[in-house]
Chain A
Amino acid sequence: MASIELRQVSKIYPGSAAGVKDIDLSVADGEFVIFLGPSGCGKSTLLRSIAGLESITAGDILINGEIVNHVAPRDRNIAVVFQSYALYPHMNVWQNMAFGLRMRGSPAEEIDAKVKEAAELLGLTPLMQRRPSALSGGQRQRVALGRAIVRDPQAFLLDEPLSNLDAQLRAEMRLELVRLHRKLGRTTIHVTHDQVEAMTMGDRIFIMKDGRLIQQGPPLEVYANPADTFVAGFLASPPMNLVSGRLVEVGDGLAFRTDGAMLPIPAAFRAAYAAWAGKPVIFGLRSEDFHAAPNGDSSAPLTLQVEAVEALGPENILIGRLAGAPTQVSARLSRHYSAQPGESVTLYADLTPMHLFTPEDGKAIPRPRAAPALLRRHA
């Protein structure tokens, strides 16, 4: 069991913009966390640094409170599952899974017992004599996992382990990984660029961009309170609608004004946003906060010129523009509501979960925090 802590960790590659800068984070013992970010954001570099496969330029990496900067990978007792699976092609499944234990000099009976146990757990028992080249993608993925489990490491580092699987298999493995974590209770860091994995698998997510840690927190918490426009856009599909405009005073209240719409700011946020009155801001609202009918006090009507409709089955996504405005807006509506491209429809925006961001650096303007959607429903 292990806690993992990073203090001011930087990895700089000479002559390259890649790498990570000043990362501070800590993962509690037994926690399942997600490193989320676009490719090239440094999340895999960070993972390899924790595993000891890359030396860091500055800072400290602590496992169980001890600095391990110069501890060899084999002495960190951490297992890594690679995106490519990295199965040893000249060994069969049994040998692949037993390799780590054999390197550690475990007795033969113990190796056999542990490999059998892990194979049973992952449904690999009938494949033990096969070479990796004779396995399907999903089976290779399981062997890679098995190789990690067998060693009973302090922590698992998973580097985009699901990205080479097809959609259905990925969904199955997502559940399986979570189940495994619950069963084994080991600290797990899962690197991904997939927002579904990020939202559904981890206790906490760490969002990275350009080698920096942008935001961390429980998935729904981050979803409800994105720190900036990048997080707002990255953590959902379709991404949060971001519209440029200006905050104006209307009577004793505030409103967001943009081409084609005037949206009153909910009373609860007035004090927080007061200082921005008269200034340009970016307005953010998720696509699911548009409704076909008024929904509570903070609903505001607006007109959408529909340009495309994506009928997904369970829901219809309307893509269009606010009357005459340049920015594209997407609204996620029930499957019972649809429209034709070219039509203008009136939708009601629920403004309770709205956000304002500064146009300069895209940072969220602080306001009273929105409760995560799930918690609100229970309340």
Chain B
Amino acid sequence: MRHFGLHAGLWLAVALILLPPLWVLRTSLVPESMAYSTDVFPAFSLENYQSLFGQKRFGTFYLNSIIVALGSVIIALPFAAAMGYAFARFQTGGRFGRFLVLSLQMLPPVALVLPAFAILRSMELTQSLTGLTIVYAALNIPFLAWILMGFFEGIPVDLEWAAMTDGTTAWGAFWRIVLPVSLPGLAAAGVLGFILSWNEFLFALVLTGSKTATIPVALASLQTSNGIQIGKVSAGVVLAILPLIIASRFIQRFIVQGLTFGSVK
């Protein structure tokens, strides 16, 4: 009986967390006209998705988001790795340097949007995916460097020493030993950076145009003067979180792998 109470409580907690997203999924799969119905599942329809990919050009925005998020991670990761390694192994910049990196994360993004816009305009990169990718990369570098620093600190310096006595240069030890050993960490950092760029709204709103909008901006544009098209918004949300769910599965695996991989002793 006590078990029953416990389980009921747990199921309640699970429902609290899962019901809203499930309701979004349900709303995305019923016709717009029945979206606000209180029936659990009044009718099945893919019209919301069809509309998004057809008339609303969601395919383009999806592609934009993928290009920007992937591009920013590919640019940011090597810089972040170098930076994190310098912090971890050579104490470059000391505590102040580390604080500086962290302090960038404390700055409200709004403070950076207008300067970024001004800079991109002078380079004629507003309303372009290139411009947004560069800005996202810049935003990602300190964050990823911070994550990778922790990962590099976990790699025993003995490994690099062994490689250096074995005949590599310091650079060779980094390239041949540290990087391969930190692959799970790099992957985890990459996925986190991807999620961050994927979800970013403010910069995307200011720096992109109607053709170069990303998913979050496109979702916001479904809120029209005729009201919120809740069915399409729901379908858009489902589409937007789908890659993140997949990515989270990966990151989980990589982080667990990262923890058990390097055991040297």
**Interface on A for B, CB 8 Å cutoff?**
48, 51-53, 72-74, 76, 78-80, 82-90, 99-100, 103-104, 132-133, 137, 147, 151, 164
Asked if residues B265 and A85 are in contact (CB atoms below 8 Å), the reply is: yes
B264, A104: Cβ atoms under 8 Å?
A: no
The reply to whether the CB of B78 lies closer than 8 angstroms to some CB of chain A is no
Contacting pair B181 A73 (CB below 8 A): no
| A88 and B159 in contact, given A103-B172, A164-B265 (Cβ under 8 angstroms) | yes
Closest chain A residue, CB of each to CB of B265: A84
A86 adjacent to B161 (CB under 8 Å): yes
Let me know if B67 is at the binding interface, CB within 8 A.
no
* Choice from B165, B180, B261 contacting A73 with Cβ under 8 Å: B165
Q: Is B39 close to A, CB under 8 A?
A: no
Task: Give chain B interface residues in 222-265, CB to chain A under 8 Å.
Answer: 260-265
Q: How far in angstroms is the closest Cβ of chain B from A272?
A: 47
Interface residues of B, dominant DSSP? helix
- Answer yes or no: B130 CB below 8 A from chain A CBs: no
What are 30 inter-chain pairs, A to B, with CB distance below 8 A? A51-B161, A51-B165, A52-B164, A52-B165, A53-B164, A72-B164, A73-B164, A74-B167, A74-B169, A80-B165, A84-B264, A84-B265, A85-B265, A86-B159, A88-B162, A88-B177, A89-B262, A89-B263, A89-B264, A99-B163, A100-B166, A100-B167, A103-B163, A104-B167, A132-B264, A133-B261, A137-B265, A147-B162, A147-B166, A151-B166
Q: Which of B168-198 contact A (CB under 8 A)?
A: 168-169, 172, 177, 180-181, 183
Say whether B264 contacts A74, CB under 8 Å.
Answer: no
Q: Do A90 and B180 touch (CB < 8 A)?
A: yes
Contact with A along B142-173 (1 / 0, CB 8 A): 00000000000000101101111111110010
Q: Which residues of chain A are near B264, meaning CB under 8 Å?
A: 84-87, 89, 132
Report whether B263 and A99 are in contact in the complex, using a CB–CB cutoff of 8 Å.
no
A159 to chain B, nearest CB (A): 9
State in angstroms the CA–CA spacing of A164 and B265 once bound together.
8
Q: Tell me how far the C-beta of B254 lies from the nearest C-beta in chain A, rounded to whole angstroms.
A: 14
- A7–B261 Cα distance when bound, in Å, is 42
How far in angstroms is the closest Cβ of chain B from A243? 42
Q: How far is the CA of A83 from the CA of B157 in the complex (A)?
A: 12
Contacts of B265 in A (CB 8 A): 84-85, 137, 164
Contact among A79, A83, A90 for B165, CB-based, below 8 A: A79
**Smallest CB–CB gap between A106 and chain B, Å?**
10
Q: Which chain B residues border A137 with CB–CB below 8 Å?
A: 265
Say yes or no: A86 contacts B169, CB within 8 Å: no
- Tell me whether B181 and A84 are in contact (CB under 8 A): no
Q: Which of B22-46 contact A (CB under 8 A)?
A: none
In the complex, the answer to whether B167 meets A86 with C-beta atoms within 8 Å is no
Q: Could you tell me if B169 and A72 are in contact, using CB atoms closer than 8 angstroms?
A: yes
Give the residues in chain B near A132, CB-CB below 8 Å.
264
Q: Does A86 lie within 8 Å of B162, measured CB to CB?
A: yes
A90 lies within 8 A of B181 (CB): yes
| Residues of chain A with a CB closer than 8 A to B261's CB | 89-90, 133
Q: Is the CB of A74 within 8 A of B165?
A: yes
Does A99 contact B166, Cβ atoms closer than 8 Å? yes
Please name the 9 residue pairs, one residue from A and one from B, whose CB atoms are nearest each other, closest first: A103-B167, A86-B158, A100-B166, A86-B162, A73-B164, A74-B167, A82-B158, A90-B180, A80-B165
Taken together as a complex, chains A and B put the C-alpha atoms of A52 and B168 apart, in Å, by 13
Q: Which residues of A contact B181 (CB under 8 A)?
A: 88-90
- CB-nearest residue of chain B relative to A132? B264
